[in-house]
A and B are shown apart, each in its own frame.
Chain A
Amino acid sequence: MIPVTPRGFKDILPEEARWRESITMGVQKVLSSWGYAPIETPTLEVLEVLEQGGQLAKMPFRLFDADGALLVLRPDVTLPIARMVASRLEEITKPLRFRYVQSVFREEESLRAQSREFTQIGVESIGLSGAAADAEVILLLVEALKACGLRDFTVAFCTVGVLRDLLDACLRNGEVDDSWRSTVLAACHENNLVAVRRLADDARIDSRHAAALRGLLDVRGGREAIDACRRLVEPLGCVDGLDVLAQTYDIIDQLGAAEHVTVDFSVMSAFDYYTGLVFEAYAPGLGVPLGSGGRYDRMLEAYGTNAPAAGFAFGLERVMHALLEQDAAADVVTDSSVIEEVIIDVSNPIAAFQSAAELRRQGKPAVLVTTREDC
């Protein structure tokens, strides 16, 4: 029998491992220079506890331990960090900034060519809100993706506030019931623009609300897209988050990063926990998002701590795919050819160890070899 790994799990051999290491180190340096501190969370979490904070990413791996507790392999890192902050750092007196590189695990159907373990690089900013905090998260994502070596990418962002406001207004007017509202949200999460328009055509909906809902997900572009959105929803008073979004865009623009961002109101993620800013990063030729993020100001509340929070995560493997697509995969220099070989004399091994140590002191990698190794 050929010893195989489980479907969607893989070994990482030196060539790939070196490349991963060099990308990860570069990104960590950037995140660290913005004041983000490293943290780690456990591989396993209690399912019930994670679900308390919000909807879990796709299907997590589940298992029972010897105590009969239902556990999950962490399907993302945002919820574990919220749990950690609430349980370990009860009183948040000043902003917290965390970064991480951790593998996450997700169950996938067979024959869909999907990994079930992948590496997420991300940050969490806790205790901060407002345009500057939102801009920081987006700018940091742009910096991080650049540090990976990516040239061509776009962070598409918007706010979920406007849609929430609009749906609430329809509900308040007694035009529709709660089930209509959740059907619209589900259609947005599924990227089904046809269904959203059809739901807007519901005869019960006020025609101005219907027109705004029909048009909202098509709004995209630069700064002018935020104004276009405002024209659509301001007469209805559904402008939640729009001022902050405009300020966020202006900060990014004035810092010269506008070439890497787009406003796009169709970016409604599959997670239900976002409360304001929401974004996804894309690279040409990849077909799937590099990563995503946003603001989730109610998540910590679910764990009994009150603090706003925002963050992002992107997939290391997805970035590597995008780099290959863009022919931007850097050759990692520490290949075996630049490692000095020191021949070990079996009668006096000490000398070889010493000369290798001397080379390393000079900053040169050195490896001990016996002549026999060459054959």
Chain B
Amino acid sequence: MGEVNTKDSRLKIAVPKGALYPQSVELFAKAGLDVSGLDDPGRQLVFYNQGVEFYIVRPTDIPVFVSYGGVDCAICGKDSLVEAALEVVELADLGYGACRFVVAEPEQALGAAEDAYRRLGIMRIATKYPRITKEYYDREGVQVEIVKMHGNIELAPLCGMAERIVDITATGTTLRENNLVIVDEVLQSTARFVGNPASVRIDSRVRGLAEELAVLV
């Protein structure tokens, strides 16, 4: 069969920086990959190990690296995959890194958003995830103005700039600390093992790794 020769090349894998990082490294180690140096990467972003190259990448950039063939495969949160909407092959649900996308509004202004929607026919939503937010409100049939922000979006409803936020939460602590109340759930997210569409078809190591990881989790 037409298996492209991959004996001489190292498998390129992107690992998400941040919350998913420790478990991802642990999982790759369990799968028998050479994860030397990854435990304490310091400022180093690339590791050329035995048979494998690891790239430490910002979670939201992982879909780009995979889709454009920068790496063969990666671990990536479902949230980043949905928001990027790029072509990758979703191979396995790894189960960890569970979090959910929620709609929240300030406790002291409960109902103000509904009120604004009734009187003005519009609601303003602050979010770091405009695509997920738009898809959600399109499904709900609610007309909203979406404001893209880059961080600390809980500030937007607190100062009255937006009525609600759509954000990701694992435990709800940050929301509670800022007196925000969850009013709806948008989607659930967990870590996924994803592959570049071409690598999945021509490099059997990618599917092999997917099967191994699926068994381990």
Binding site for B on A (CB under 8 A): 113, 152-156, 190-195, 198, 218, 220-223, 225, 258-264, 266-267, 280, 282-289
Q: In B2-47, which residues have CB < 8 Å from any A CB? A: 2-6, 9
What A residues does B5 contact at CB under 8 A? 152
A266 and B198 in contact, given A218-B207, A261-B2 (Cβ under 8 angstroms): no
Q: How far, in Å, is A199 (CB) from chain B's closest CB?
A: 13
What B residues does A264 contact at CB under 8 A? 201
Closest 5 pairs between A and B when the two form their complex, measured CB to CB: A287-B69, A222-B1, A154-B2, A191-B89, A282-B198
* B contact residues, total (Cβ < 8 Å): 29
Given A191-B200, A194-B90, 13 more A-B residue pairs with CB atoms under 8 Å apart are: A194-B92, A194-B192, A198-B93, A218-B207, A223-B1, A259-B1, A262-B2, A262-B201, A266-B201, A284-B6, A287-B69, A287-B198, A288-B197
Docked complex Cα distance between A261 and B202 (Å): 10
Can you list, as one digit per residue, whether each of B44-72 has a CB less than 8 Å from chain A (1) or not (0)? Answer: 00000000000000000000000111100
Q: Is the CB of B207 within 8 A of A220?
A: yes
What B residues does A222 contact at CB under 8 A? 1
What A residues does B211 contact at CB under 8 A? 218
Q: Is the CB of B87 within 8 A of A113?
A: no
Q: Is the CB of A191 within 8 A of B201?
A: no
Q: How far, in Å, is A346 (CB) from chain B's closest CB?
A: 56
How many CB-defined contacts (below 8 Å) exist between A and B? Answer: 89
Binding site for A on B (CB under 8 A): 1-6, 9, 67-70, 87-93, 192, 196-203, 207, 211
What B residues does A280 contact at CB under 8 A? 201
Docked complex Cα distance between A113 and B86 (Å): 12
Q: Kindly identify which residue among A195, A258, A263, A289 contacts B198, using a CB–CB cutoff of 8 Å.
A: A289
Q: Which residue of B lies closest to A290 (CB)?
A: B198
Q: How far, in Å, is B112 (CB) from chain A's closest CB?
A: 34
What B residues does A259 contact at CB under 8 A? 1-2
Q: How far, in Å, is A202 (CB) from chain B's closest CB?
A: 16
Docked complex Cα distance between A309 and B198 (Å): 26
What B residues does A261 contact at CB under 8 A? 1-2
Q: How far, in Å, is A19 (CB) from chain B's closest CB?
A: 22
Q: How far, in Å, is A255 (CB) from chain B's closest CB?
A: 14
Q: How far, in Å, is A233 (CB) from chain B's closest CB?
A: 20
Q: Is the CB of A258 within 8 A of B1?
A: yes
Q: Identify which of A190, A218, A282, A285 gathers the most chain B CB atoms within 10 Å of its CB.
A: A282
Q: How far, in Å, is A222 (CB) from chain B's closest CB?
A: 3
A193 and B1 in contact, given A285-B69, A286-B198 (Cβ under 8 angstroms): no
Q: Is the CB of A195 within 8 A of B201?
A: no
What A residues does B201 contact at CB under 8 A? 154, 156, 220, 262, 264, 266-267, 280, 282
What B residues does A190 contact at CB under 8 A? 90
Q: Which residue of A lies closest to B9 (CB)?
A: A284
Q: Which residue of A lies closest to B89 (CB)?
A: A191
Docked complex Cα distance between A261 and B207 (Å): 17
Q: Identify which of A192, A264, A287 gathers the most chain B CB atoms within 10 Å of its CB.
A: A287
Q: Is the CB of B91 within 8 A of A193?
A: yes
Docked complex Cα distance between A192 and B87 (Å): 10
Pull 22 A–B residue pairs with CB atoms less than 8 Å apart, ordered by A: A154-B3, A154-B202, A194-B90, A194-B92, A194-B192, A198-B93, A218-B207, A218-B211, A225-B1, A259-B1, A262-B1, A266-B200, A282-B198, A282-B201, A283-B198, A284-B4, A284-B9, A287-B196, A287-B198, A287-B199, A288-B68, A288-B198
Q: Which residue of B lies closest to A154 (CB)?
A: B2
Q: Kindly identify which residue among A223, A225, A284 contacts B202, using a CB–CB cutoff of 8 Å.
A: A284
Q: Which residue of B lies closest to A197 (CB)?
A: B93
Q: Is the CB of A288 within 8 A of B69?
A: yes
Q: Which residue of A lies closest to B3 (CB)?
A: A262
Docked complex Cα distance between A259 and B2 (Å): 4
Docked complex Cα distance between A51 and B214 (Å): 40
A194 and B91 in contact, given A284-B4, A287-B69 (Cβ under 8 angstroms): yes
Q: Kindly identify which residue among B2, B3, B91 contacts A155, using a CB–CB cutoff of 8 Å.
A: B2
What A residues does B89 contact at CB under 8 A? 191-193, 266
What A residues does B198 contact at CB under 8 A? 282-284, 286-289
Q: How far, in Å, is A281 (CB) from chain B's closest CB?
A: 10
Docked complex Cα distance between A87 and B69 (Å): 41
Q: Is the CB of A289 within 8 A of B197?
A: yes
Q: Kindly identify which residue among A191, A194, A284 contacts B197, using a CB–CB cutoff of 8 Å.
A: A191
Q: Which residue of A lies closest to B72 (CB)?
A: A287
What B residues does A258 contact at CB under 8 A? 1-2
Q: Identify which of B69, B92, B192, B201 gathers the most chain A CB atoms within 10 Å of its CB.
A: B201
What B residues does A285 contact at CB under 8 A? 69
Docked complex Cα distance between A299 and B93 (Å): 37
Q: Which residue of A lies closest to B68 (CB)?
A: A287
Docked complex Cα distance between A155 and B89 (Å): 18
Docked complex Cα distance between A259 and B196 (Å): 22
